[in-house]
Copies of this chain bind each other. A is one copy, B any other.
Amino acid sequence: MTTMLDATHDPSLRSWVPGADGHPDFPIQNLPFGIFSPPGGTPRGGVAIGDHILDLPAALEAELFSGAAREAAIAAGANTLNGFMAMGAAPRQALRQRLSAMLAAGSPDRDAAGPCLHRAADCSMHLPARIGDYTDFYVGIHHATNVGRVFRPDDPLLPNYKHVPIGYHGRASSVRVSGTDVRRPSGQLKPRGADAPHFAPCRSLDYELELGVWIGPGNALGDPVPVAEAPSHVAGFCLLNDWSARDIQAWEAQPLGPFLAKNFGTTVSPWVVTPEALAPFRIPQPARPAGDPAPLPHLLDEADQQSGALDLLLEVLIHTPAMRERNMAPHRLALSNARHMYWTVAQILAHHSSNGCNLGPGDLLGTGTLSAPDPAGFGSLLETTRGGREPVELPSGETRRFLEDGDEVILRARAARDGAASIGFGECRARILPAR
């Protein structure tokens, strides 16, 4: 299922909403969905357009929708997007078409739709869906190589890496929307050379730069999703920060994987950027280096190989208390790209269900850290500071081995390409609170 480009993608399309044209994240070509509360109001579905949010229940009240678009708007206007995600691609596409026409410059709906807009700055954002299960993958091959090199300098990737899209189950209950503070966890730490562990606040708190994938219709238990059908089960994308306590992780993770090192918090950006909005930024899956095994047949689809990867810039920034005090802008720690996924989203999804495991609307997948090959694009401090040994210098004159209390980490994404309007994801941002 490749989404065709249509009038909604036209880079010359303009909107009557002030500030939407040329907006770095939400021009009229994006139209992502999210759950927000207007001032004094309850949570409901909305659409980001420039610095505003279109209130879907209000637009329904104003009778701005009909047919399939209306059915989709009713689902997307609820207090979670689960029902909308369950509907799949066709209603979502109908709604996109209608929203694009409604918000386009010259639209006859301007007078009716205008009162349905809220200034985004006045609203609060919520998680877009009740998350059933959250799974985190490990498909950023440069990250896996960097981490593996610590243990196996000459052979950093384990033998299964190029055959299996490696993943593990994360904690759904502690996923929070951008803007929610993250409490530094305590845990069992066993510093090198210590005889026994002790319980103390984490000393090597880290971020991980990831793409998040929201699941749409999903599959029944026992019925795998073929890789060719996998794209129809993707409801959209977000940014995801998989906060990681490296010292807790080092002590606990054998033999069953990360647990308390990760499940104290995961932050996602609030807007669900649709597969339709990202259609202009599809690229072929980068060729595997010579000598790499071909994917097994159940993970291989020609269309997916041709257009299953995403050309999407990913950025991590830090804003320390000292930087805020001095009114300095956040400092970029890394610039990477979603093209560094060794497996496509369709391959991840097909693999996840290949044993019959059931995925459902509102489930969340993380890609794993998407580091670029060069150090300027490493997606975690573990990599950037080489395990804390080489502190990074900040323009404030400070250094960081790992995150300190009060630090704010900001993830951003931006899709840009000749002949397409550039779009972004909005921010995935959170600040570290001291340990309790």
Given contacts A164-B188, A185-B355, A354-B186, contact A263 B174 (CB under 8 A): no
* B260 adjacent to A257 (CB under 8 Å): no
CB-CB under 8 A from A251, the residues of chain B are: 160, 163-164
Task: Flag whether A399 is at the interface (Cβ < 8 A).
Answer: no
Given contact pairs A185-B355, A185-B356, A252-B160, A296 touches B171 in the complex (Cβ within 8 A): no
Q: Are B199 and A359 in contact (CB under 8 A)?
A: no
Shortest beta-carbon contacts, A-B, top 8: A257-B257, A185-B355, A169-B169, A183-B222, A168-B256, A256-B257, A260-B355, A264-B355
In whole angstroms, how far apart are the Cα atoms of A150 and B420 in the complex? 56
Contact B173 A358 (CB under 8 A): yes
**Are B168 and A257 within 8 A (Cβ)?**
yes
CA distance A359 to B263 in the complex (A): 11
A168 near B360 (CB under 8 angstroms)?
A: no
A351→B248 CA distance, assembly (Å): 12
Tell me the nearest residue of chain B to A254, going by C-beta.
B158
Please tell me if the beta carbons of B199 and A354 are within 8 angstroms of each other in the complex: yes
Residue of B nearest to A147 (CB): B255
Task: Give the residue name and chain of the B residue nearest to A357 (CB).
Answer: B263
Please give the distance in Å from A151's CB to the nearest CB on chain B: 9
Interface of A: prevailing SS: loop
Q: For A197, what are the chain B residues with a Cβ–Cβ distance below 8 Å?
A: 160, 163-164, 296
With both chains docked as a complex, state the minimum distance between the C-beta of A185 and any C-beta of chain B, in angstroms: 4
| A427 located at the interface, meaning its Cβ lies under 8 Å from any Cβ of chain B in the complex | no
Q: Please, how many angstroms separate the alpha-carbon atoms of A222 and B180 in the complex?
A: 12
Q: Is the CB of B298 within 8 A of A199?
A: yes
For the complex, is A287 an interface residue (Cβ under 8 Å from B)? no
A297 on the interface (CB 8 Å rule)?
A: yes
- How many A residues touch the partner, as a band? 35 or more
Does any Cβ of B come within 8 Å of A265's Cβ? yes
Q: Is the CB of A167 within 8 A of B245?
A: no
What separation, in Å, do the CA atoms of A432 and B298 have in the docked complex?
23
A-B residue pairs in contact (CB < 8 Å), sample of 12: A160-B188, A160-B254, A163-B188, A163-B197, A173-B358, A174-B356, A176-B221, A199-B297, A222-B436, A256-B258, A257-B258, A356-B436
A-B contact sample (19 more), CB < 8 A, given A197-B296, A221-B265:
A163-B197, A164-B251, A166-B255, A167-B259, A168-B168, A168-B257, A173-B358, A173-B359, A183-B221, A183-B222, A185-B355, A187-B355, A188-B296, A198-B296, A199-B298, A221-B264, A256-B258, A260-B355, A265-B356
Which A residues from 155 to 212 make CB contacts under 8 A with B? 158, 160, 163-164, 166-174, 176, 183, 185-188, 190, 196-199, 202
Q: In the assembly, what is the distance between CA of A160 and CA of B189, in Å?
A: 11
Judge if A133 is at the interface, Cβ distance under 8 Å: yes
Which of B257, B259, B263, B357 interacts with A173 by CB under 8 Å? B357
What are the residues of chain B within 8 A of A298 when measuring CB–CB?
199
Smallest CB-CB separation from A351: which chain B residue?
A: B260
**A residues 52-74 with Cβ under 8 Å of B?**
none
Q: Which residue of B lies closest to A197 (CB)?
A: B163
Q: Taking A174-B221, A186-B355, A354-B186 as contacts, is the C-beta distance between A256 and B160 under 8 angstroms?
A: no
**Is A122 engaged at the interface, CB distance under 8 Å to the other chain?**
no
Complex contacts, A199 vs chain B, CB 8 Å: 296-298, 354
Q: Which residues of A (389-436) have their CB < 8 Å from a CB of B?
A: 433, 436
Q: Name which of A138, A202, A259 has the most chain B CB atoms within 10 A of its CB.
A: A259
CB of A109 within 8 Å of the partner chain: no
